[in-house]
Every structure is written in C-alpha cells, then in structure tokens.
Structure 1
Amino acid sequence: WCRSLDFKISVRHGDTATRDRRKQALSPPDVMITTPETLQLLLVGKRLSRHLTSVEWVVVDEVHELAENKRGAQLSLSLERLRRLKGGDFQTIGLSATVGSPDEVGKFLVGEGRSCKVVDVTMARESELDLAYPEAGSEDEVLASSLYTYPEVAARLRVMRGLIEGHESTLIFTNTRPMTEILTSRFKMWDINFPVSIHHGSLSSFTRLRTEKELKSGDLKGAICTSSMELGLDIGQMDLVIQYNSPRQVTRLLQRVGRSGHQVTGVAKGRIVVKDPDDAIESTVIIDRARGQELEEVKIPNKPYDVLAHELVGMLVSSKQWGVDDALEIVKKAYPFRDLTKDELIGVLRFLSGMTRRLAWLRPDEDVFVRPKKGKRVFDYYFNTLSMIPELKQYVVIDDEKDEPVGVLDEPFVAEYGEPGAKFVMGGSIWRIVQVFKNKVFVKSVEDPVGAVPSWVGEEIPVPYSVAQQVGALRKRVEEEISQGGDPKQIIESTSKSYGIEEDSINRTLKPVIDQVKSGLEVPTNENIVIEKCEDTLMVHACFGTLTNRTLARFIARRASEELGESVAVTVDPYRILLRSERLTPSEVESILSGEMGKDFRETLESIIEDSRFFKWRIIQIARRMGALKHETEMTSKVVDKLTKGLKGTPTYKETFKEVVRKDLDLPQVLEVLERIESGELELTSLGVRDEPSPLALLAWKKRALTFEPVSPKRMRMLILASTRARLLSEERTFACTKCKDWVEVKPIHKLEDKPTCPKCDSESIGLIEKEPRSVRRILRRVKKSSKSGKKSKTWRELKETSKLLSKYGKTAAIALAGRGLTPKSAEGILSEEDELSDKFLDLVMKEEKKSLFSRYKIS
C-alpha cells in the first residue's frame, strides 16, 4: 500500500534497531507507529523533535485501554507538549471497538476546552452471544480419569473441543495465565496432535509469534490465551471466540468477542463456557448488558502526581528553565489534569526539589523551576522511568522444610495475601506462609484447606459493582415471583426467553436461588445483605462486586478484631464475604454494618487502606516513578515500612492513596453501602447459626471442595508427569542443519523423528534453538560465507552445541532441551543418566527446571 500511494511508514519502539532509528532521524517517515513511552523520547530528541513540528494527525488506537490508566495520562501530557512544540494544533483521532463513556474518552483524547465528535458505527457489525453450561455424563467420567481431573472439567473440555472442531479458527480466552497453562495442558494430555496452542504475555516472543503465524496460516485451529490477544494482533480471520468462565466485565466480553467476524458485515460470535451457578448467572447478566451496550464507565485517573512529576522533569530535559505558570498552562490542557491547582503543581515541584538527589530546582519565589546543575541524574531519571506500567515483581515460593522451590507468586497476590499464617493453593497442595523475605516466600505444607486461596486469584479480573447488583436484581425477581405463587418451571422458561439463553442452562443457573426460596430462607439480592454462620465460617452475602466486597471485608474484620481481641481471616468473591472465627456471631456483624459499633466509617476505612499490603506495594511503584526510590533498591518489609513512614504527607503518599482507592479498595462505594444500610435503604437479614450452609452459601462450600479436595500423592504424581510430558512434547523449536546450513524448519517436538536428519544432505548434525527461522537463516548464511560475526554469534554456538546432543541422543535430547531454563549442559547431564522418555527422565527434567528457578532468583 505504501509503495502504491508513495509514502513511507515506519515503526518506532524500544526494540527498534539503531540503524533504523538513525534513518528515521535523518529522513522521517510520513507515518510513524509508536507507543506513549517512545513518544516521550521523540519529544526530547534533537533531530526528531524538530520533525515533530510538522505533525498534522495523531491516531490513538484502542483508546479505551489508554484512557483508564496512567499510560493514557502520560500520553495526554505528551500531546500537550507536542502542541507546544508544534506551535499549533493537529487532528486527533481515537479508535476503539468498545468504549463505555465515549464523550468522556473524547474529552480525554483532545484535551480540555477542545471539541470532539463521536462517530458510532456499532450497527455495522452484529454479534451473536451465547452461554454453554456443560453437564457431565458417563463419557466425561472416562475422559476425566485419563486426564486426572473432575468429570465437570472433562465436560467443559469436550464441549469446547466440539466448538473448536466445528469452526475454522477459534480464540479461547481465560482470565488468568495459570488457567491458560492448565487448559492447554489438558488438551495436549488428551490429544497431543490437537491443533491448539498457547498465547500470553509471559511466554517467549518465539512462542507467541509462532502461535500468531500458525493461526493466520491455518495450521492451528485455536489459541488459548489471556488478554494478550484482545488487541489488534495480525492473526487472520477468527470465526469464534470462546470465553472460558465468566468474562467478569461487559467491556472485556465485547473486546474479546470482537476479535471474531472481523469484516465490516461479519458477525462477532462468542460462547461463554461456565463452570457453576455463580459463573452462569454472572455471565447471563453480562451477556444481557452486552446486548444492551451497557458498558462499564471508563474511569480516567484524576491528576496522577507520578505522571506529572515525570512530565515536569521531561520539560526540563527539553529546556533548562520553565515558568511555573507556563508549565501549569500546558498541564491543565490535558484532560486528566484539568482540575490541577497551582498549589498542587508547586507541591510536586517542591518534592522534586527537596530530594537528596534533586530532579528540579524550584526558586525561592516559586515562580520558576530550573534543571539542577548536576543534570545527569535528571536525564537518567527521565529516560529510565518512561513506563507507567507497574513493575510486576515475582516471588519464588520455597518449601521451608525441604528447601525446594514450589513455584512462583506474582507481587499483587503477595501484596494481598502474603502475611505469615495465610494459606494458599499451589500445585494441588495447601501451603501456609511462614515468612516473606526479599523475593522469597517460605511456606510449609498443611492439610487443612479452610481459608486457603488459589494462588492465581491475584490476577483475577474484578467484577464491577454494576454487574453484581444486576445479579442480585435477577435473584430478587425470581424470589418475588416464586413468593407470589409463580411456578418455577414457568419462571425458568420466561427467564430463558428474556435473556436469550437455553432453558436447561437457565434451570441449572437458577437452581440455588429457587432452592433457597423453597427452603423458606431469605435470598441475598441487590437490596438485601444476608448473614449466616456454619461451623467456624461466617458468611456475608453481598452483591457488591470484587473491590467493594474486598474493602467491606477488611472493614468488618478490623471492627471484629477490635471487639474480639483476635485476628479474623477473610476471603471474598463478588457475592460473598467469608470470615473465619469461632467467636464472631451474625448479630455482631449486623452491629458492625449498621453502625452500632461506631459510625466513624471513613476514618476506619482510610486507616485500613493505609495499613493494607496494597498500599505498601503501590507506594514502592509510585516512589520509583517519582524518582524517590532507585529501581534496584532491594525491598524488605522493614524498608517498606520506613519508606511509607518517611513519605507520609508527600505527593507520593497522596498519589498512593488515590491509586489504591481507584484500583484495589473501593472506598467511595463502601461508604455509600454503609450509608444505605444506616438509612434502611439496604436491608440486613440474619439466618443465624446453621447446621449446614444455605443453598446459596453451599456454592462457596462446593467451590472450596473442588479447589481443595485432597489428591492422593500417587494421583498427583501421575498428573504432574503426564502434564510435563505433554508440555515438553508440544513445545515448538526451530531446527537447522549445521552441516549444509541450507535447511531450517519449525516444528513441534512430538513431530520430530527419533533420529532426525537433514532432508537436504542426510546429515545428523541437526541443532535446535528458540528463535524465529528468519534470523536463524540469516546467521547460517553468514557462517556459510565464513563471516566471523556469524561464527561467533550466540545462535551458531547454540546450534552447534545442541546438534551434538541430537546426533547422539536423538529426539529425547530435543525433549530435554525444551525444559524451562535448561541449557545444553544441564540437558546433557539428564541424558547421560536417562536417555529414554521415561518417568525417571521427566523427574530429572523437572529437577533441573527447579534448579534453573533457584538460579533465576539467585538463591543459594
């Protein structure tokens, strides 16, 4: 297209080669595709900043993704700096398939005081949304046995396989990386030749690119993925999207389903495969809201101080001196900063000026700020803090008794649950945290599952308040109709018609609600909070969504702990709060929620937020982004406590509070809930202490049983061996002949011959590497021409080393080399001990993978 239309287009990002950057600076393209982070560099580049003065159009793709996070706030300020650099305006165009607040996003896009036209073309495409609630049959029991799982899981796999085989190409979305890994493993254990692959952000670029290319070429019929596939990757035409479990948000569902039927007149086709009544009723509501285009509102961050600090320093990189009023004029034109006051701007400048290693110098009259004489630190900070994406640290989990690694936890999970004594599920076992030290979580194996949390919940997408409230409203409608003498069968039939979901699925979806009414028990709804206790677990049924329930749970636990003089463990889901305590009673929880135990709601909640692990995690991120903390500083609990105390009252502390409230703990919504309880608008009902959970509480008990059902050591070992075998065999690598250097091919290891040979020269000198074939061919051409750079390259050395192993051990060597983090040397150690694909071989591979994990986290 570019050649036909006679214009140049180029891409600029962090991985752009130096030679390409030089070309762009000397001869700029007509169109440049870049990122918000790279735009920060272009604005201060000597040559490119001059070229930017001729910009006429700025197109922001997937604008909804940017508007609701700090990358968007950063972009809005960058565009204002670009306008100042240009000395005029340009046309700004935002593109998105799903925007919950188009007018608000339009204002974000163009800035304060400028007009924006919203062009809605949703009518150009139809969408077909449905729900599948598989029921396990006898065939699923057989499959479940072979996959070491439950018949219900096997039923979902069977239904999904049927859908995949009935379509040309399918994307299967999950909500977490672990679930993506598990689902892929199950399919590969079932059938190693089943043409599906995996895609998520933590995989190597080689694996991700292979999945994308093979989807486009038709070699794959499906990809199991996370949000990594939501955006505009070049993967060809999809004709179906499967969402595994509830998508949890309307916007998320539409964004994902929108990847199918990608033609103007195409039909976007989506199926949600659900696992239980909670999942089903939530998905039913989300489908209904999606059909009515009731998307979640986009919440634009309000004047984030960390973004502001970085941009002010960026202005000093461009020019040594700025007037405060001049800077304020630029900043306030960016929509997220439209309400910024001069005092707030000066507060951030004072903070930057007051650091030991100051990043700006604010003159005593506070009218001008200048670049400090030691300008190197200013440049270092600006160029090393371009990204507003939080750095997600990982913690290695170590069995304290065996001194062995168990797995890895992400920082958000540790932030929420990483307290000594907390329990979580990993690798089919229950672990209790002994201590968190530096980048390690020391644990002990325990048998009691009560209170344990699955290790993947830190990644879970939060269910919004609006969705949870509509779930409560649907429950209320069913309760009222039955109470008024309605026939449950007719209610199921009418609900099926009104929601457009098949009757059998609605029947199973509403069964717990109908059973609750038939038992003569109050139903928790959008207008009724129901409390009950069974054994040592007290349950508060509250249809308020993830963030509100998470915050409310901490409020109840704080008040209960003060009353009882002992800590109260809590877990939450979007519809329930579970509190574990022998002594806590339903009437005490009623007193806490009604305000009888004190009405200082805001003060208590603010204290809870400041004491939370969320706050500690966020303050580290924000302190780094504001230059108050070096990126390489090793954080311990004591260091974080000292940092938090030292930053109190600063813009960093204030920004941390704002971010926690926006992302982790919903203070405004909880205050509203407590006020509605106090006014009587929200009803509080107690079912008292019960011998067994109510039907709607039983859902949580069943989930817990499925998550924590004891697995015999023998069964667990068989599952681990089978999944490891499937994983290694399904790995793809680039194979190349190191003799003739003319043959290069990518293939999955299970399709490799037992003794691989070159199809061109019959040589057994076949090496393998995890690199794209194009770059491998380029190196081989250099080696063939006796190029020194080719022969000294890492790629050639690795091909030579691996070819020796393959020529000696054959396919088994390739399987060993596919192990995570395994080097040719470690693979050779395995093969010298066991050269057949046996249980012993798999044990050796897993042992070396654990050693690699130890090495990665520098654990002696």
Structure 2
Amino acid sequence: MRGGIALALELLGDHVRACIKKRGFAGLSPAQEQAIPLVLQKKNLVLIAPTGTGKTESAMFPVFDSLVKMPAGGGIRAIYVTPLRSLNRDILSRMEWWCRELGLKVGVRHGDTPMAERRKQALSPPDLLITTPETLQALFMGKRLRKHLEHVEFVIIDEIHEMAASKRGAQLAVALERLAEYAGEFQRIGLSATVGNPETIARFLCGARPCAIVQVPVAKQLEIAVHFVGDDFKHQVRALEQALDREGSTLVFVNTRVTAEALGHALYPRGDVEVHHGSLSKEIRIDAEDRFKKGEIRTLICTSSMELGIDIGRVDHVIQFGSPREVARLVQRVGRAGHQLNTISRGTILTTGFDDLLESLVIARRARANEIEPVVPEASAADVLANQVAAIAVEYGEIERSRIRTIVERTSLFAGSGTLLDDVCTQLEEHRLVRLDGSRIVTTARARRYLSGNLSMIHDERKIPVFDMVSRRTVGTLDESFVVGWVHTGAVFITKGQLWRVLEINDGRLTVEPAKKAIGELPSWEGEQIPVPFAVAREAGTIRRERTTGKYTQEKEGIAFADHVLSEMEKNRCKIPTDRLITFENIDDGVVCNVCAGHKSNEALGRVLSILISARYGTTVGIELDAYRILLRLPSEVRAADVRDFFLSLEPAHMPGILKLALKRTALFKWKLVQIAKKFGAIDPDADYEKISIQRLLDYFDNTVVQREAYRELLSGYMDVDAAAEIVRRVKAGEIELAIGPHSIIGADGILSSRDQIPPPTADQAVLATLKRRLDQDEVVLACMNCRNWKSRTVVSRVPEIPQCPKCGARLIAVLKPYEADTYETTAKKNKSPEERATEQRLLRSANIVLSSGKKAVIALSARGVGPENASRILATLADGDAFYREILKAERNFIQTHRYWS
C-alpha cells in the first residue's frame, strides 16, 4: 500500500506535492491512489467512493498538476459542475486555497452571480470555473464566453448519480457534446458516492467513448444497526434522545420536512439541535451548517438537503428516522459519518412500524452487500431535445439538422432515437421557436426569449399559498403538483408540522382550517416521500414468507418482533401476503389488495384496476396506496372476490394502453402536459395552469410528440408499468397466488400505520409557540389615563411587568392597537362627543385591567379582536402559562369566525 501512495504522489509535480504536504495530508486515500494515475493518463473516469475519501481531490490534484504546467491566461481550462448552488459555494471555499497556492484563478458562476463578476469572467476568465448544469447552458449564449470554452480540457461532474437520473442530466449530457464542438475532445471525470450500475453512468458521461471506472466499495466501511421503536411519538422521541446522548456529533436523517419540523420541535429544549431542509432560507441553512461545523450544536435533523457532500466537518454518527426507502439513500446518508480515512461509518435506523422494520432490514442487508439500486437515466426525453434544439439554433443562428443529430446522438440518451429529432423540429416550428429551411434549422427572435425563461429542465412549479382562516395568515405553500394531483375540498394534509383541512380551492389559493383528527384522513399521495423500489418490497415479502432467515441474524430483536406479528396473524387465521401471495380484504368502504411490489408498481396496478372497475360499474373509484397495499374505495356491491377476478383478467400487454386511457382525463395528466408544452415553447412559462382548458389541451396536442412525452414521463417516472406487468405475468404463470383473506393488521390497518403521522402529539405546542412569538412581536400603544399627556408605541416583548407613566408615575395605563393611537388625543378634550366619551370609557376600562394584571393584561389586549371585555374574561379564568395562551387563541378564533356578522 505504501508503494501505491508513493507512486501516486510521485506522478504529481513538485508544486502540487508541496501543497499536499502544506495542507497536512498524511497520505492518499485508496480512491486517490487509484484515480490520480488514470486522470494523469488523460483517461475519462467515473470514480465511485464513500463520502469523505477525498473524491474531489482525486480529480483535482492531477487536474491542478496539468493546469500549472499550462501557459497563463487564454480561457477556461477546467469546469467543475455540481447539482446545487450550495455545493458550488462549498467547492469554491475548498478550491480557493489550492488555486491561490498554485497561482491559478478560480471563479463560480450560477444564477445569483452578480453582473460585475460575470463581466469580469468574460474579460478575464478563470482557469477553473465552478458552475451548475443550468449555468453551463448559459455559457453557450455569449460570443466571448464561447471563445473561452475553446480551451476547456477537463470537465468534472460532482454527484453524477444525482443528475444522471433526471432531465437535468439529459440536458447536461447534450451540453457536454455542444462543448466538444468548441473544445474538441476533453477529459471527463464523474464523481459519486453511490452507484449500482457504474457502466451506465460511464456511458451517460462519455457516450461511446472509452471510460475507466474506479469503485471503492462502500460496504466495507459501513456499520448499520436496525432498532424498532414503535409508533408512539413520545416513545420515538425518547429513543432518539437516548441515541443522541452518546458522545460526538450526529446527523438525524428523516424522509420529509414535516418529520424534520416535528422532531426539531420536540427536541428543541435540548439546546443542541437544529433543523435543516430545503424549505428553509439559505441564510438559516448556512448558519446551521456553520454552527454544526464549529461544534456549537451537536445534532442536525435534516432531509435529503444534507445527503450531498456539503462540508459540515466531523460527523460521528448518522441516525435514519424511519425506513430510508432505498439502499442508495441509506449508503449516501450513513457514508457521511466517520468523515475521515480508514474510519467506519456508523449508522442506526430507528423503525416505527411493521412495514418500516422489514423494509429497513432488507435495505441494511443490501447496503452491507453493496447491492445498490441502478440509476436509470432519462433516455429520449422529447422536451429536453426540444430545449436543446432551440438552444443550438440560437447558438449558431442557423445549422444543418444533420449536425444537430450528430451532436445529440453522441450522447447515450439520444443515440438511436429514430424520428424523435424530426418530430421535435416539426413541433418547434409550429410554436415559432425555429424555422425549417430544407435541411437547415434557423433560429427565430422568439427562441432567444424562450431560452431566457427555459435554461433549466427543472419545471417551473408555482407555490400555492395555504391560507389559514383562523389566524388569517398564510401558513405556508404547497407545490402545484401536489395540489393539482391530490388535493380536493375536505382533504387533510400536513404542512408546517400541523394538520390542515381544505375548505376551498380558489384564485390560486387554498383556504384551510386546523384539523384535529389524523387517522384515515391523510391524502393518498406522499408528496416528498421516497418511493420504495420493486426489489426492496419483494424481499420484504420474502421475509414475511420465510421468517427468520440467516440473512438477518444481526437484527434478532427486530426479527423477533416481526415473527410475533406474523404468528398473531396466523393464530387469527389471517392469510399473510408475501412475495408469492397477493391477498384481497373487504373493508367498510372498499377492498385492500395486499401486493408486495413497491410504490411505482402498485401505482400502475391500482390505476389499471380502478379504470376497469370504473368502466364496468359506471362509478368513480378512489385509490390509496403504498409499497405493500392498494386500497380501492368502491361502491358497496363490489367486493374482494370481484377485485380478484379483475386482477386475474389483466393482460400485461394491455396495461400501458389502459393506463393512458386512465390518465387522459386526470388533473395530473393535464398538469404534466402543461409542463412539457412550456418546454416546447407552446405555452408561456408564466401561463396560469388553472385558466388553461383541459379539453383544448387534449385536442391540440393529441397524437403529438408533446402528448407522447407526457405519457412517457408519467408511465416511467410516476409508476413502473414494467414491474406491474411482471407481477401480472407471475400470477398467470402460477408463481404468485391470489387469495381472499379476512381483515388483517397488515392489510387495512397497514394503510393507516404506514403514513407519516408525526405531528398530532406536538401540534398544540407548536401552535401556542407561534402565537406567543407573534404576540411578543405585536405593536401596541401605551397611554396614560391619569395625566393624559403620555403615549408610547412599542412591541409587547419590551413592555415591563408593571407598566408606569414616566411623566406622572401613575400605573393607570391603557393599551391601544396602533390604528387606534389617534383616538387617545380626544381623551384630553373638555367637550367630548358621545362617541369620544365612549372611547374614553373603553380606555379607562383597559387601563384598570392593566392596573390590576400588569403585563399579562397588555398581552391579552394586544390580541386580534380582544378588547377590554374579552380581556377581562380571559384574565378572570386565572389561567397561566399555556392555558392563558389557549384562552387568547380561543378568543381570536371566535372573533375571526363571527366578526363578519357584527353590525
């Protein structure tokens, strides 16, 4: 091993070796030993290695070595692409030291880069440019920047797995080929912590070009434990606290922002915990990262926002709260612990239910065995191709269609895509983004305007405000996709750690009220939740069938609990659904189909069954599902035996056609069609979804490439038709049995227990805390009713416990709302009108309340709709602490619900 270290170091030049020594590197990691020689040999490379093993340095040490040997100036030599601006910031802070020491220039460019910095880069380009996939697109639009791109010799793509599976990745793959038109062949380096199919990623990065792969196994450095903590929230919090009490720093990963907020609220009194997720402002996230790095806090509760390699210093332990859903996600998250060479990454999964437990056992086993899910790139995405054809036309003014075909087909994602390019060009001409002139494609004035609003393949998604009728405030926003696909009047959902019931959807706004009852009322769509893959759900079904297998000996406690649940079911003569048995159970409002097939497969099966039943009985069928069951809400005459017969009638070959029929009239299909039409320039980016006629859309895009892309994305991204068809094939082959079973705890009850139902135990506390904060910040006007010659505008938090007039020393102080301040002057008048005398009496009542109750009275009187009469009633209850604030909340709610009826 020492020979390997020496060899890799010796291959680097004196300058870089001196910097490595100055920076305090004791040696090189296995990833660096293997990667550095290959990069110096100018080979394209995909490097897969655990977090903390120096992947960035594996690429940059040899790149720096080449850069310092090149003549100064002359354009951008290396481009470093990351998926997130926060990673750009992180990489820049790490690269600045090296570039300063080596006499190189480094710059960062993304959507927020100031114009002055952009001009500076255009006039004097950095040697190394750190950017995002979207900003890379923008570089092709400026003449001077295009000239600088001619000198690029290296492109490094960080977290390549994150981009390869999305349309952003497809756009990036084409951008690399567009770059090659200027720079010629450059060296491509892809970095990732987790990839199950490195060869596919190599093809994504390089097309048909040769590409070396270095894979440092993650599993050897993982130590994963699975613990069952049950579904009681208080017990879950106690178990989490015990885990946090061990020495060192901890990242607690959760699957949704709701869970992050609920746990953060429960653990906040510890004083060493912060929450970190994508809905928080950049400033709050950076502050939490910095405080964690400095050791000021010991725990960060985070969502996928912390999965990628942002440097937050030492992490001693990772806790995954609830099943991580995917092997890749668990490996990525646990890999953040032990962020040093040759250290073990320790992770603990705290499971909260039966499905959760089995799923976590499977995922932990697969992680140890390095069985990571494959990344599936977005092949032949028509809207990406449309975007790139329009961009290339703007870039060149006019260009031969055959040259565009050559550029895009050098990528693995559009190689052999048949007539797709021709169909896309025809559609683009219809929307005036290009003009077809024989074999040439000519840009239009509209195309440049289109590009300025469509640099990104991330769909512009409106945020729908959620307006609480009780507090008369906007309490948060929901993604348009969630509202369009799943929200209806009466639906209950969670946001900001609280349950809300939808009262009205109107004028681009949801009006809601707080909901108290959670069970059975959460929407079927899981929003931020990560779908459980087919293979994981199938193996969880295998555990149900085989019970204690040798594969799971490390988790005796968890297996024992699962065995107990299954034994109880057998005692009650329940049929246990497994990987080889699908069961159908009657419940009050429908039928539960227990299918261990994962979210996307069950989505496809559920929708196919629903349209067949709907067509036969002429009724609407509701669907609710997760990775292990499909709940069909049905009319009373349709029972489990009927649903089983429908299942038996399914033909794998017919399923895509049935699904297209099922989707065509849905709000979800309309929303997806609008998104893709925007990327084709057919609809303006800021067009209001609600005002577009679904019928006109369907008619206009019928049998077009836009419609085909909408179906392709829904059938591959939102559901897994192939996996669903595989289940049907196995049923027909007799490999999976179908049976009707009685009501069971992992059937209908499982639908309820599988939901993300964290908030109810803490919702009341969260509401009261919000109320206290708001009242503290409320402005009030204090006025002396003794001398009638002093008033002061202040906020409640600054009011002393015993308010007093500074002029006459009296404690007869009235409290006014800011908009009432001018009425105080009338109290000093000698001849008052009846209305002014009434105001004086009201202020005297207010002052007498403050005289007897001090600041507590000021707090009550600052509340909305609370005057002296209501304040007296609140104070007369003698309530203290939370009970006092509950009385204020009750008074405010009553005011809001009744004030419109007042004369």
TM-score (ref. length: structure 1) = 0.76
Equivalent in the alignment of 1:477: 546
Residue from 564, 588, 594 that aligns with 2:648: 594
**Post-superposition offset of 1:504:** 2.3
Q: Given that residues 157 and 190 in structure 2 are in contact (C-alpha distance below 8 angstroms), is that contact kept between their aligned partners in structure 1?
A: yes
Tell me which moved more, 420-429 or 461-470.
420-429
Residue from 635, 639, 664 that aligns with 2:693: 639
Equivalent in the alignment of 2:225: 130
Distance in 2 separating the partners of 1:81 and 1:307: 14
**Post-superposition offset of 1:463:** 0.5
Judged with a 3 Å threshold, the aligned counterparts in structure 2 of structure 1 residues 476 and 329 are, in CA distance, closer, same or farther, namely same
Equivalent in the alignment of 2:528: 459
Distance in 1 separating the partners of 2:370 and 2:663: 34
Equivalent in the alignment of 2:284: 207
Residue from 175, 185, 200 that aligns with 2:255: 175
Equivalent in the alignment of 2:770: 724
Q: Given that residues 531 and 538 in structure 1 are in contact (C-alpha distance below 8 angstroms), is that contact kept between their aligned partners in structure 2?
A: yes
Distance in 2 separating the partners of 1:227 and 1:25: 35
Aligned pair 1:58/2:155, yes or no? yes
Q: Given that residues 397 and 405 in structure 1 are in contact (C-alpha distance below 8 angstroms), is that contact kept between their aligned partners in structure 2?
A: yes
**Post-superposition offset of 1:458:** 1.4
Residue from 290, 310, 324 that aligns with 1:247: 324
Distance in 2 separating the partners of 1:428 and 1:223: 17
Letter in 2 for 1:561: S
Aligned pair 1:119/2:203, yes or no? no
Distance in 1 separating the partners of 2:134 and 2:891: 40
Judged with a 3 Å threshold, the aligned counterparts in structure 2 of structure 1 residues 10 and 510 are, in CA distance, closer, same or farther, namely farther
Equivalent in the alignment of 2:13: none
Give unpaired runs (5+ residues) of structure 2: 1-97, 778-796, 801-854, 872-879, 896-903
Distance in 2 separating the partners of 1:443 and 1:597: 43
Distance in 1 separating the partners of 2:370 and 2:488: 41
**Post-superposition offset of 1:467:** 0.5
Equivalent in the alignment of 2:744: 694
Distance in 1 separating the partners of 2:144 and 2:364: 51
Pairs within 5 Å for 1:551-630: 551-581=604-634, 582-595=636-649, 600-630=654-684
Q: Secondary structure of the equivalent of 2:584?
A: strand
Residue from 330, 345, 353 that aligns with 2:421: 345
Equivalent in the alignment of 1:791: none
Equivalent in the alignment of 1:371: 443
**Post-superposition offset of 1:539:** 1.0
Residue from 439, 443, 453 that aligns with 1:384: 453
Equivalent in the alignment of 1:232: 309
Q: Given that residues 655 and 721 in structure 2 are in contact (C-alpha distance below 8 angstroms), is that contact kept between their aligned partners in structure 1?
A: no
Aligned pair 1:298/2:375, yes or no? yes
**Post-superposition offset of 1:319:** 1.2
Distance in 2 separating the partners of 1:400 and 1:170: 39
Letter in 2 for 1:669: A
Letter in 2 for 1:45: G
Cα deviation digits, residues 550-597 of structure 1 (max 9, x gap): 121122222222233322222101101112232221111111101179
Distance in 2 separating the partners of 1:33 and 1:102: 24
Q: Given that residues 171 and 240 in structure 1 are in contact (C-alpha distance below 8 angstroms), is that contact kept between their aligned partners in structure 2?
A: yes
Tell me which moved more, 509-518 or 546-555.
509-518
Q: Secondary structure of the equivalent of 1:33?
A: strand
**Post-superposition offset of 1:518:** 3.5
Q: Given that residues 202 and 211 in structure 2 are in contact (C-alpha distance below 8 angstroms), is that contact kept between their aligned partners in structure 1?
A: yes
Q: Given that residues 504 and 512 in structure 2 are in contact (C-alpha distance below 8 angstroms), is that contact kept between their aligned partners in structure 1?
A: yes
Aligned pair 1:665/2:719, yes or no? yes
Distance in 2 separating the partners of 1:69 and 1:431: 32
Judged with a 3 Å threshold, the aligned counterparts in structure 2 of structure 1 residues 677 and 701 are, in CA distance, closer, same or farther, namely closer
Q: Given that residues 174 and 224 in structure 1 are in contact (C-alpha distance below 8 angstroms), is that contact kept between their aligned partners in structure 2?
A: yes
Residue from 286, 303, 321 that aligns with 2:363: 286
Equivalent in the alignment of 1:396: 465
Cα deviation digits, residues 404-460 of structure 1 (max 9, x gap): 867543323223323456555678988765664452245688898785225882111
Judged with a 3 Å threshold, the aligned counterparts in structure 2 of structure 1 residues 846 and 232 are, in CA distance, closer, same or farther, namely farther
Give unpaired runs (5+ residues) of structure 1: 136-149, 479-490, 732-751, 756-811, 817-825, 852-860
> Number of residue pairs matched?
715
Residue from 23, 33, 40 that aligns with 2:130: 33
Equivalent in the alignment of 1:505: 558
Distance in 2 separating the partners of 1:2 and 1:636: 51
Equivalent in the alignment of 1:93: 189
Residue from 141, 145, 157 that aligns with 1:44: 141
Residue from 746, 753, 769 that aligns with 1:703: 753
- CA RMSD after TM alignment: 3.9
Judged with a 3 Å threshold, the aligned counterparts in structure 2 of structure 1 residues 235 and 445 are, in CA distance, closer, same or farther, namely closer
Judged with a 3 Å threshold, the aligned counterparts in structure 2 of structure 1 residues 663 and 847 are, in CA distance, closer, same or farther, namely farther
Judged with a 3 Å threshold, the aligned counterparts in structure 2 of structure 1 residues 434 and 640 are, in CA distance, closer, same or farther, namely farther
Tell me which moved more, 318-327 or 438-447.
438-447
Judged with a 3 Å threshold, the aligned counterparts in structure 2 of structure 1 residues 620 and 841 are, in CA distance, closer, same or farther, namely farther
Q: Given that residues 245 and 272 in structure 1 are in contact (C-alpha distance below 8 angstroms), is that contact kept between their aligned partners in structure 2?
A: yes
Judged with a 3 Å threshold, the aligned counterparts in structure 2 of structure 1 residues 311 and 830 are, in CA distance, closer, same or farther, namely farther
Cα deviation digits, residues 589-612 of structure 1 (max 9, x gap): 111101179994342222113333
Pairs within 5 Å for 1:526-565: 526-565=579-618
Q: Secondary structure of the equivalent of 1:336?
A: coil
Tell me which moved more, 837-846 or 671-680.
837-846
Q: Given that residues 409 and 455 in structure 1 are in contact (C-alpha distance below 8 angstroms), is that contact kept between their aligned partners in structure 2?
A: no
Distance in 1 separating the partners of 2:123 and 2:412: 34
Residue from 577, 594, 597 that aligns with 1:524: 577
**Post-superposition offset of 1:30:** 1.4
Judged with a 3 Å threshold, the aligned counterparts in structure 2 of structure 1 residues 597 and 97 are, in CA distance, closer, same or farther, namely closer
Distance in 2 separating the partners of 1:260 and 1:847: 49
Aligned pair 1:159/2:239, yes or no? yes
Distance in 2 separating the partners of 1:611 and 1:382: 31
Letter in 2 for 1:461: I
Distance in 2 separating the partners of 1:753 and 1:302: 61
Distance in 2 separating the partners of 1:369 and 1:85: 20
Equivalent in the alignment of 1:653: 707
Judged with a 3 Å threshold, the aligned counterparts in structure 2 of structure 1 residues 174 and 726 are, in CA distance, closer, same or farther, namely farther
Distance in 2 separating the partners of 1:614 and 1:324: 34
Distance in 2 separating the partners of 1:847 and 1:654: 55
Residue from 109, 118, 123 that aligns with 1:12: 109
Judged with a 3 Å threshold, the aligned counterparts in structure 2 of structure 1 residues 347 and 174 are, in CA distance, closer, same or farther, namely same
**Post-superposition offset of 1:641:** 4.0
> What percent identity do the matched residue pairs reach?
35
Distance in 2 separating the partners of 1:48 and 1:239: 44
Q: Given that residues 188 and 205 in structure 2 are in contact (C-alpha distance below 8 angstroms), is that contact kept between their aligned partners in structure 1?
A: yes
Residue from 109, 112, 118 that aligns with 2:205: 109
Letter in 1 for 2:246: G
Judged with a 3 Å threshold, the aligned counterparts in structure 2 of structure 1 residues 669 and 729 are, in CA distance, closer, same or farther, namely farther
Cα deviation digits, residues 158-189 of structure 1 (max 9, x gap): 2222222213211111111111111111112x
Judged with a 3 Å threshold, the aligned counterparts in structure 2 of structure 1 residues 596 and 100 are, in CA distance, closer, same or farther, namely closer
